[in-house]
Amino acid sequence: MPTRDIPAVVVSRLPLYLRALCYAQQEGLTTISSQELGRRLGITAAQIRKDLSLFGEFGKQGTGYPVAALIRQLRRILHVDHVWDMALVGVGALGRALLHYQGFARRGFRIALAFDMDPTKIGRRVGAFVVQDVARLEAALRSADIRLGMIATPASAAQEIAERMVQAGVRGILSYAPIHLQLPPDIQVEYIDPVIHLQRMTFYLGAQGRPASADELPGAQPCGHHDEG
Amino acid sequence: MPTRDIPAVVVSRLPLYLRALCYAQQEGLTTISSQELGRRLGITAAQIRKDLSLFGEFGKQGTGYPVAALIRQLRRILHVDHVWDMALVGVGALGRALLHYQGFARRGFRIALAFDMDPTKIGRRVGAFVVQDVARLEAALRSADIRLGMIATPASAAQEIAERMVQAGVRGILSYAPIHLQLPPDIQVEYIDPVIHLQRMTFYLGAQGRPASADELPGAQPCGHHDEG
DNA sequence: TAGATTGTTAATCGATTAACAATC
DNA sequence: TAGATTGTTAATCGATTAACAATC
């Protein structure tokens, strides 16, 4: 498996292929062409064929790709043919939503542990989880052998939590805190910040927002601290 | 303003610059070099200078960029010098988290309306919002002149909701539903699906997940329907 | 002045697309 | 067979980087 020297932009598309293939399978398709897959994703057929060809020859001329087999291949390539246990730090409104989210399990992930620093939250149940004291983060992560972490804390806490996760053996972090984390280059980091996405859209939408009132966009502090995401 | 023919990849970085500049301002910096900004974002200094030069000459040799002025410029370029009203559809766990999120307002956004189809939710208060019947979506969006929508419904409902939003005048959609939306090319669409990010990381992490038990990754339905995100 | 840093150019690097022989 | 579609090549296209004159 030439898992090295695969362009990052190709890797970033593979999960989209997998997701679309799963929907196709649920619809009853047993084979799918690069053209049809591309249509469903807004990606050109040539792009998809080129990407997949980096990992092997999965298709058949004249008929396309066998859906089930390609799903298996992509799950193997992405290492989601096994389930990854994750740790969540930050059980605010967002953390609670993540704890209740049913979409992780069947796509290869499971939240195993949830932490917060708030004494009023520690020990309480949220869904199937008991919120643990973040003071015990390192010990708990090590004993559960956790490799993936999710951060849903205020931005002000995210860097420290990330460092402690890495100390405890975490190799990949998905952060909802709106701040860039400074971490060793061998640690995988991904970010989710809805405002970033919104601002990418408003660039193209023109000046149609509403006039800002004084306390919404104060000049002295035009961006705010973005806690509790 | 040459707001056209700006590469999309440049546009996608501008919100990151703005966010980092705001933190710098909160730390008391009045000027910042492209090198320092790049260090904080994991982006090369040349990249930042090149990107910004597409919009004007904002810096000064020897000293760098004036933080406050560059923030103003980026907010103008991204059209977040005004506040954008948004509509949210889907008041499940994720929708509630979005309704409680304090990070929108000071970065240029405000949820104005929230909708759901569940009769037990309609009319109930969530934070400062009263959940409205999604049957009234078009009428309410038009009368409030909403241009931005957020979708936090099950994947199975997302396409229909998106089409109805567009019908009602929405020009940009941020979707948390794990499905690609088929919409007119002039509609801006951005997606947030945490599993996509997680799978991008596990590609690099090697085969360290836990063996899947039968009911976690069933062969017959290896991906599941991903509702309620 | 000396040191630092921008804006811009040219070179390098990488990704996407078009086209088509192979073949199912 | 005829039609369809892959895998791959070569060409095009676009983005990043390095370097440096200009200048604060």
Tell me what the mean pLDDT of segment B88-108 comes to: 97
The structural domains of chain B, ordered by start, are 8-77 (1.10.10.10), 84-194 (3.40.50.720)
Confirm if B28 and B43 have CB atoms less than 8 A apart. Answer: no
Mean pLDDT of B71-81: 97
pLDDT mean across residues, chain A: 92
Looking at residue B209, its pLDDT comes to 64
CA atoms within 13 A on the CB side of A78: 31
Contact A179, B23 (CB under 8 A): yes
Q: What pLDDT is attached to residue A218?
A: 45
Per-residue confidence (pLDDT) for residue B34, from 0 to 100: 98
Nearest to B21 by CA among B70, B84, B58: B70
Q: What pLDDT digit, counting tens, does each position of B30-72 carry?
A: 999 999 999 999 999 999 999 999 999 999 999 999 999 999 9
- pLDDT value of residue A212: 57
Tens of pLDDT, residues A153-168: 999 999 999 999 999 9
pLDDT confidence band for A73 (50 / 70 / 90): very high
pLDDT of residue B219: 44
- The residue with greater pLDDT, B153 or A3, is B153
Which of A75, A94, A107 to mutate to test binding with chain B, by most B CBs within 10 Å of its CB?
A107
Query: What chain A residue is nearest to B108 in terms of C-alpha separation?
Result: A217
pLDDT at B216 over 80: no
pLDDT digits (tens, 9 = 90+) for A172-222: 999 999 999 999 999 999 999 999 999 999 999 987 666 655 445 544 345
Q: Is the CB of B53 under 7 A from strand C?
A: yes
pLDDT of residue B60: 97
Say which residues have a Cβ less than 8 Å from residue A53's Cβ, sequence separation at least 6.
none
Q: Rounded to the nearest 5°, which phi and psi values hold at B105? A: -55, -50
Does the nearest atom of strand C lie within 7 Å of A47's Cβ? yes
How confident is the model over B215-224, as a mean pLDDT? 47
Per-chain mean pLDDT for chain B: 92
Q: pLDDT tens-digit profile of B108-156?
A: 999 999 999 999 999 999 999 999 999 999 999 999 999 999 999 999 9
Distance A60 CA to C23 C1' (A): 8
- The pLDDT value given to residue A206: 83
Of B101, B195, B227, the CB nearest to A229: B101
Is the shortest CB-to-strand distance from B220 to strand D under 7 Å? no
Distance CA B179 to C1' D5 in A: 26
What is the share, in percent, of chain B residues with pLDDT greater than 90?
87
Q: Residue A76: what pLDDT?
A: 97
pLDDT above 90: residue B227: no
In the prediction, which pLDDT does A210 show? 63
Query: What is the model's pLDDT at position A223?
Result: 61
Q: What's CA A69's distance to the chain center, in Å?
A: 24
Q: What's the mean pLDDT in A4-18?
A: 94
Nucleic strand C within 7 A of Cβ B60: yes
CA distance B84 to A39: 31
> According to the model, what pLDDT value does residue A220 have?
39
**Res. B212 pLDDT band, cuts 50 70 90:** low
Antiparallel, parallel or unpaired: β A65-66 and A31-32: antiparallel
In whole angstroms, what is the distance from residue B23 CA to residue B20 CA? 5
User: Taking residues A55-74, what's their average pLDDT?
Assistant: 98
B10: nearest CA in chain A? A200
Q: Which residues, 6+ apart, have CB-to-CB distance to A119 below 8 Å?
A: none
pTM for this model (two decimals): 0.94
Q: Can you tell me the mean pLDDT for A37-59? A: 98
The torsion defined by the Cα of B80, B86, B90 and B95, in degrees rounded to 10, comes to 50
Pair type for strands B172-175 and B148-151: parallel
* pLDDT computed for residue B206 by the predictor: 83
Helices (H), chain A: 8-26, 34-41, 45-53, 67-77, 93-100, 137-144, 155-167, 194-205
